[in-house]
Structure 1
């Protein structure tokens, strides 16, 4: 189960009435989605919204008076769920803290899966092992990019400042030219039918090479088998551009979470805080920046106007939701120690 009881204990210790759920299924696999559209609907939006409604009712019944304010805290998939509440259920929360936004969800899972065709499997001549991504490529990226901000401290302050991957002369004992070209391809933006679908990975996130294992990313595999095609035997190793386009088209229960108009949340004085680690190797931090720009463009607001109800923070050197060499904190929440996201990232819930 992915009910994070540690979160419930953390919030309760701060005197909050707290509600948590597993988002309608066991979050370690996409199998429960097969032939169960209701489970997909729970995952897309219904579990969180229903939990909020029930939680508020129970709180009022237990304490004899209604709640005064309600808040949400989540990261990764939990970040998307918080954003979904802001977009579609603006009355649910007065404040939302959402990290490492898994927004534009259909494109995210396609982006996560498209690396397999680039890296090849573990026997491909162009393949580079995850160990080399950590011990060779990541240090080389840091060495090339670290000083751009004027301080060599092991942290790439802003990965957007410069594209700095594999510019150095290749060493014969490290990687081949074919492998170097593969790495360059990895760091390109993701297009579907010539349209930008998702940003590139940010330099600095190679320390978590979960997309470059020589196998199709597991949650992409599950999503296409059990949701898009509803066929447990579907050969996901053949996934390509037509499949990515189909996922975008089907967008089950509007799981994309890409509405750029959040004026209803703003108008009721709701406050949103979003953050993203700049060394995130799971969801590129450029995606949260892209959503910020999407809202700015859709609502016709400049950053000073957005700041009245939404603050976005880029956390230098932080990995996926926590960890890394930057100035991050887990706010005392011990569940993040041990990388619980490995169990709950794809289809779980971070309430």
Structure 2
């Protein structure tokens, strides 16, 4: 049996404080309110990781969600974001122990089903694109908050969103389009400029796989990647006062990859002309025919990492690891992964074929970008969250914590810095409510040689509750039992954590936040 409830009742439910509330409802479908356009697919009690009620449902026949309602509720709500093209119900707030901490929490599939690297669902389906772009997160948030209020018989005190990668983009998009949905958001390694990412990925694919039908091995392989990494580290690792294979700010490293190009007769410990050209596409970013920049490149970092170049940018079918996860904290939903030599091969082609040109036969072979901005304008209007004007969100008291790894090879840290600087250029006072934390040596969302574990849910909760914008946070390394084994401060941009010259380099007290110069 399903029970339905519709969207027009949501605002009333969200604002209505039940009188004489007697505690939370029973965990069964008959105890839940009827909302038009919402069908309950399953309501059941569960005991792991803590006692809670699980509510699975679908909004508008397409937007699936799962709402988890803990027995010991802390009065707050958090929505967790997804990854890639989503395609199954994802809630990455669970990585931060949201349910164990007493949060009512929800995730969504954003209105379609499929592997997070497959975008075929979007082709010639405007409704699916709008749901994915912004509407599904909004409708899920409004629905879930209304159900939470009804279930516990009292109003939610704070509402948050945490997400990384696609989830980071969802956080920023929500603040821009639906500023009332969340009191604070944590947006990591954000995917907000889908049409820009497509240009970046397409030109990298053109450089790494000149023949799109030959995907066995990229032009740049593991040996070349290792040579580049060891070379720039030899030149730049000590610039921040500590030789630890971590660049505090890779922008300060001016190493020239061209210096590794083989001279006449050389065959070892050097790069071919083709390899140098392909590597420069990664670092310099995509260009038009006149050499003008079209999007950000990647800074130094992650060339040999497990979650670095080989997973995202280069790869090759001969190096495929069947056990590799798509993204930390993001599963496949049980769907088969598309045949692809790298994540960017999937994302570049997926966006172009299904978001922009709606043509499954589109190929990057001989493609140039003279009409691309116009061609991609409709997709950009729906999908991109690049507007630096966050005044509506800030006006209602919203807080935003941005973060990115400097060694992220999925979403360039330069893009995150660029967006933040655009926000401050638009309104310098935005720094009161929006802070950026760039994490040295950290890969996409998590991992890498730098300390990458931060409970960003706890950070935004403390900010919202106390009202004090964080000047620094502490990031930790974790052991195999997920226990902290040292940490370092991460400073609010543009400051960086500088080693004080003595003390344990894994002790946060050995560092202090200072200007990056």
Q: Would you say same fold, with TM above 0.5?
A: yes
After alignment, is 237-246 or 309-318 more displaced?
237-246
Aligned counterparts of 1:100 and 1:225: Cα–Cα separation in 2: 24
Write out aligned runs for 1:1-351 (5 A): 1-4=87-90, 7-8=93-94, 10-25=97-112, 26=114, 27-121=116-210, 128-166=219-257, 168-170=259-261, 172=266, 173-174=268-269, 175-192=271-288, 195-207=292-304, 208-209=308-309, 210-213=312-315, 217-242=345-370, 244-299=372-427, 301=428, 305-329=429-453, 331=455
Distance in 1 (CA, whole Å) between partners of 2:405 and 2:146 is: 36
Structure 2: distance between partners of 1:332 and 1:106: 28
Where does the alignment leave 5 or more consecutive residues of structure 1 unmatched?
A: 338-351
Per-residue deviation, 1:139: 2.4
Q: Measure, in 1, the Cα distance between the counterparts of 2:414 and 2:245.
A: 20
Q: Distance in 2 between matches of 1:243 and 1:111?
A: 16
Deviation for aligned residue 1:116 = 2.1
Note the residue ranges of structure 2 that are not aligned, 5 or more in a row.
1-86, 317-340, 458-477, 480-517
Work out whether residues 118 and 186 of structure 1, in 8 Å CA contact, stay in contact via their aligned partners in 2. Answer: no
> After the TM superposition, which of the residue ranges 251-260 and 92-101 deviates more from structure 2?
251-260
Bigger shift: residues 173-182 or 286-295 = 173-182
Q: Partners of 1:167 and 1:145 in 2: how far apart?
A: 16
**8 Å CA contact 2:201, 2:345 repeated in 1:** yes
1:210-263 deviation digits (Å, cap 9, x = unpaired): 223476721111111122121222234343213642454223543111111101
Q: 2: distance between equivalents of 1:133 and 1:282?
A: 19
**TM-score computed with the length of structure 1 as normaliser:** 0.85
Of structures 1 and 2, the larger Rg is shown by 2
Q: TM-score by structure 2 length?
A: 0.59
Q: 1:93: Cα distance to partner?
A: 0.4
Q: Count residues in correspondence.
A: 331
Bigger RCO (CA 8 Å, 6+ sep): 1
Distance in 2 (alpha carbons) for counterparts of 1:133 and 1:70:
47
In terms of fraction of residues, the more helix-rich structure is: 1
> Any idea what the Cα deviations from partners look like across 1:186-217, whole Å, max 9, x if unmatched?
32133347553322211113231222347672
